[in-house]
Amino acid sequence: MSKKAILKYVTTNGLMVTGEGLNKPTLCKVWFKVFVDDTVEVTVENTYTGNTIRRLGKKIISREELRNMPEDPYNSMVFNKAAFDLFGLSF
């Protein structure tokens, strides 16, 4: 099995979030790992420990879906909300 080459990473700000799959409010980031084949692996990381929160799973989206996520150059919370919504998390 060959590994796919990683093109870049995109991440949210670290935010205190709650949701199903979390036992208590947790400081987290959503990471988007963009591969050269235009697929994107999305995971949630505990910002305190740096570990991926496996019980939240991972999502595979297209690079186009990542590009189409709402964002505002003057308000990073717009992108943050859309990213955490992928996992049913809220802040």
Q: What is the pTM of this model?
A: 0.90
Instruction: Yes or no: say if 16 and 46 are a contact pair by the CB < 8 Å rule.
Output: no
- Residues 60-82 have a mean pLDDT of 95
Q: Tokens 């050269």 appear where?
A: 36
Q: What angle do CA 31, 50, 5 make, to 5 degrees?
A: 45
pLDDT digits (tens, 9 = 90+) for 1-37: 457 899 999 999 999 999 988 889 999 999 999 999 9
pLDDT digits (tens, 9 = 90+) for 78-91: 999 999 999 999 98
Instruction: Yes or no: say if 34 and 5 are a contact pair by the CB < 8 Å rule.
Output: no
What pLDDT was estimated at residue 75? 94
What pLDDT was estimated at residue 3? 78
**39/20 Cα distance (integer angstroms):** 26
Q: Would you give the DSSP letter of residue 23?
A: S
**48/35 Cα distance (integer angstroms):** 26
